[in-house]
Each structure stands twice: as C-alpha cells, then as structure tokens.
Structure 1
Amino acid sequence: MVKHVALSALLLSGLVVSAKAQTPLPAAIAAPGETVVLTAHAEGAQVYECKAGTDGKLAWVFREPIATLLVDGKTVGRHYAGPTWEHVDGSAVIAKAAGNAPGASADDIAWLKLEVTSSRGSGVLTGVTTVQRINTKGGKLAGACDSAGTFKSAPYSAEYVFLRKA
C-alpha cells in the first residue's frame, strides 16, 4: 500500500512538472478554439532536389516529406507529399501552410500551422481542420549541390497535432 501511494505521488508530481514545463505555442501557429484529435510522433526524412534557381545557380529545393506516424511506439500512419497525413484507418487529410515559426536550432525545420484543404475516408482524421508541426529536430539540408536533378534527404522528427474546430 505504501509503495502504491509513493508511486502515485511520484507520478502526479511528474505530471505537474511536465505541465509547467510546456511552453505556449508561438502565435503564428496557434489554433485557439480548436480541440486536439490526435498527436502523433513522426520519424522520417525531408527530401530535397538539386535545381537551378532564377539566378541559374544550383541549390537544394524542398521536394517532399516521407515519414512514419507513431503513437506510443506503434505505427498509426504515414506522412508524404501533398502534404498528406494518412491514418491506418483509411482517413487522410491534405493541408497547406498557414503559419510558421523557427525550429529550436538552425538545423531544425520550422514549426508549422497547416490548414486542411481536403480530406478522405472515415476515421480518426475525419473533421480535422488544422495540423500543427511542432518540436522539430533536424530536416534542414546544408551544403552545395553539384548536379541538377539529384536528390538528398535530411532525417527529421516532429510531433504532428491534428485539431478540429470545437
């Protein structure tokens, strides 16, 4: 009994600490009045293509994301070009960027607020109106590209928060 009480107290104190440790989202990606439907961890890569810019110089240009969506370490979906998020239950959303904030370091891709432009299927993502990409790690590509049409990927991770209007 004493062990259970001590464990409960320890767990509760951890919840209080983690609640206080959360920082508010930057205003540019906040979604006030919306309710969280799902939060998924993503592990994958940001894919870039070497292309000539308007100045004729070669540079890496973002092409698409490729990531696995995980909840409690289990695969629940995937994220790919569109940008599209597809859940294993068949529901999916496609969105467009509506706001951004810098990542924590120069190597981290931006945090994003994306507005859903279309959806399909019926399941957990049905009714989702906003997707936030937060807590990014990696994903930016550095260095020169030497040959147009070549591809390179930069590993990244992020949390995707799926929301709907309350």
Structure 2
Amino acid sequence: MREIPTLSLLLLGALTVQARAAETAIPDALIAAGEKPALTLHAEGAQVYECKTDKDGKLAWGFREPIATLVEDGKTVGRHYAGPSWEHQDGSIVGGRVVGTAVGATDNDIPWLKLAVVSHRGGKGVLSEVTTVQRINTAGGKLEGACDTAGQLRSVAYAADYVFLRKE
C-alpha cells in the first residue's frame, strides 16, 4: 500500500475545511446581505465557563471566554480570545458583538453566530476590512450541569469555522 505524503494530507484537510464552509447553508439569522467572504479560518480550542451566582442566588455555569487557535491550510495563522476578538498573524485584529444566532447541529454544539465587527486594531492586514464574522459548523463547546463552587472554571473543547466577511 502506498503512503500519502503528510503535506498532501494537510492540503486535503485545508481544502475540505474551505469546501465545507463554502457548501454550508447559512441560516437566515446569520446572512450578511451585501457582504462577501474575505477569509475562512478553522478554529480548534475551548469554551471556558465560570461557576457564578445567578440572579436567583443559585450557582450556575456562565460563559467566560473562548480560547482557540485559528488554522488555514494546516498552519496556525492566528488566535481567538475574549472580547470576542480574532487576531491574525499579520497583526490585524477585529472585535465583534453578537447580532444573530442559530442552533448548532447537536445538543452538545455551541450556537452558530453572526457578529458585527465593532473594532479594528493592529493596522492594515487581512482582517482590516472585515465587517462581519460568522461562526458556523460548530462541534462541541457546550457545558451543562450544576457547579458547586463559585469561581470554579471548566473548559470544553470545541471546533468551528469562522467566515470573515467584508462589504462588496
């Protein structure tokens, strides 16, 4: 049996991610009319939750922050973190605010999101003209159940595709 070179596997994987994002049916709540994709990156990381006292005085898990690596063509090209913010290796950074949601494919998947870009930092780069970010194809990341100690942290692995859009 012939072995497939590692580079070929990485390229195939990257093409699969891009094709999957391109073929994904976007729910109405996430459509960004008059915008086109500038970049699609795959994310692998964790959703971090914190045990907090809710308005009724009970302990419950609350979302704290994402921590993820952004990947393109099998290579790390950036990171995703609290804000929410996305930082590309070229120094461009965008921050977003949720303006639309859709349910994930399973009960364990965090929702798909549409985020309006509310800040640009880091100068001219691949993200400098981005106006909207879509989080699609989510897998995992949801935390359910009770917590018993305020301040306790728990992280849940997740993956997603982030589509960065700009005005046409």
TM-score (norm 2): 0.85
Cα distance, 1:68 vs structure 2: 0.2
Summarize deviations over 1:115-164 as a string: whole Å, max 9, x none.
Answer: 00010121000110000000000000122100000100010000000000
Residue 82 of structure 1 aligns with which residue?
83
Residue 22 of structure 1 aligns with which residue?
23
Matches within 5 A, 1:1-166: 22-120=23-121, 121-166=123-168
Q: Point out where structure 1 has 5 or more consecutive residues left out of the alignment.
A: 1-14
Percent identity of equivalent pairs: 66
- Number of residues of Structure 1 aligned to a counterpart in Structure 2: 149
Q: Point out where structure 2 has 5 or more consecutive residues left out of the alignment.
A: 1-15
Cα distance, 1:31 vs structure 2: 1.1
Cα distance, 1:33 vs structure 2: 1.7
Measure, in 1, the Cα distance between the counterparts of 2:104 and 2:130. Answer: 24
Measure, in 2, the Cα distance between the counterparts of 1:122 and 1:146. Answer: 46
**Over 4 Å off, 4+ runs:** none
1:142 match: secondary structure: coil
Could you tell me which amino acid in structure 1 is paired with residue 120 of structure 2? S
Could you tell me which amino acid in structure 1 is paired with residue 108 of structure 2? D
Aligned CA-pair RMSD: 1.6
2:26 match: secondary structure: coil
2:29 match: secondary structure: helix
Residue 9 of structure 1 aligns with which residue?
none
Could you tell me which amino acid in structure 1 is paired with residue 148 of structure 2? D
